[in-house]
A = this chain, B = another copy of it.
């Protein structure tokens, strides 16, 4: 028996490698969290990840929240083919050029055993190669041709949840992989103003989701021309700051003008009785958001999740010695479980035959918001012991004081009645903490020397700078500082201190407003 348990124990210990601290190696810390929290891992297929159940559960929560918002704004879901004929992709020139270097191409449709070995059957070559969709504008607009005849058919507001493929040589789990999961909205409108309004509406939906659900503050803005989606007239985006000061593009919403309706030859009869090309938008977010979530909130003990996206919001760990205690403690644990469940809280009762310490470690690693420890003493006192996954650190606070604030005791009824409020408070605290962290690494900079110091000596972050340079100037800045224009912020996104006109930090030319520069993922 001892031998067996050792075997089981050993398998478990493998998962207990500690996490590299952020200050030591931020990139390794990220990978450690992804691995130790069992969110995702590499597969045997180059560049493709496996999203493990705990990671996928977060994605499911994101999907539900986003999908509700898409439907509330009048969109419906549909599904279009995975494969895009090469000739479709080639129709919109810039679009094809933009994705040419990262296309998985299907060329054959059969295998055959030749000389005892399973191989691609050379006789099964397709007449036309098929591209595994990197994005679906061309295949969707080919179908819209059947659906759009009159202005009465507009607006057409469709979203698709799907996998897409962009061949990448250098991959990073969630952030950059050859295959990823996303949603892509594709809408058609009778007029340009309507389409532009839609582009902004969906950017707003993304920003609202990022801030209210992910607790990730974002700057909303437009991409510079060089960073636009291939085929778009304007690309809007939300940009978030990670804990290392780098920016991460968390969602994009594109105004496509008539580029795709023209290349797919889609026309509609307008109210005025004229044949016109409709105006298009497309917008998407992906499993990349899980990367943003991790890098905004998590710490050296593992994953930290905003309660609204936590697959498990509260975990109950029973603590007992001997069978007598076990009966009493389990009875109370089950009662607490039932009470929280009836409140709609995602609660788990961890009754596995493991040491409580191992459970604490695991659920901290996996980002459970609140741990409820229940032992005989708690039952006697009629109280509950709550351990929060995090508290907002006060400056100069000792480890001990911090631990005291994390672990609190409250009368049972009070603790249970207050659980929802506690989770809401933690949701809000994460958002405020992320805003504070971003503010700490944000500068309004007017001078190239200050800019250089910010990135080379002070760790960098978001620099609000005036810009009037050319794309070549942008490249030069990127080469020198590894920074790029993350976005040209929308007017209401510009903080007081960064408003107004000025002179380009690089060229000295007059500039109407500041942009956000940063290193980025």
Contact = CB atoms under 8 A, between A and B. Distances in A.
A344 interface: no
Interface centre among A57, A111, A130 (most CB of B within 10 A): A111
A41 interface: yes
A169 to B, nearest CB: 9
Given A103-B111, A111-B103, A85 B149 contact: no
Contact of A81 (B8, B49, B90): B49
Contacts of A146: 41
Nearest to A119: B86
A53 B82 contact: no
A277 interface: no
A36 to B, nearest CB: 14
Contacts of A405: none
Nearest to A179: B82
Contacts of A181: 79
Contacts of A88: 44
Contact of A44 (B85, B153, B162): B85
B44 A139 contact: yes
**Chain A interface size range:** 35 or more
B272 A4 contact: yes
Contact of A150 (B11, B97, B162): B11
Interface string A71-93: 00000111111111110111000
Contact of A105 (B59, B102, B120, B131): B120
A509 interface: no
Contacts of A269: 4, 7-8, 11
Contact of A120 (B51, B77, B86, B110): B86
A30 interface: no
Given A8-B269, A105-B106, A78 B53 contact: yes
Contacts of A99: 111
A6 to B, nearest CB: 9
Interface string A20-50: 0000000000000000000001011100111
Contacts of A143: 41, 43-44, 50
A499 interface: no
B4 A273 contact: yes
A455 interface: no
A487 B162 CA distance: 34
B107 A102 contact: no
A12 interface: yes
A497 interface: no
B11 A48 contact: no
Contacts of A101: 110-111
A100 B112 contact: yes
A132 B111 CA distance: 12
Contact of A118 (B100, B151, B271): B100
A109 interface: yes
B158 A53 contact: yes
Interface in A192-226: none
A143 to B, nearest CB: 5
Contacts of A86: 111, 118-120
Contacts of A179: 81-83
A391 interface: no
8 contacts: A43-B81, A43-B142, A45-B81, A56-B76, A86-B120, A102-B110, A110-B167, A163-B163
What are the 9 closest A-B residue pairs judged by CB atoms, nearest first?
A48-B81, A11-B149, A53-B76, A100-B111, A51-B79, A90-B118, A105-B108, A11-B150, A7-B269
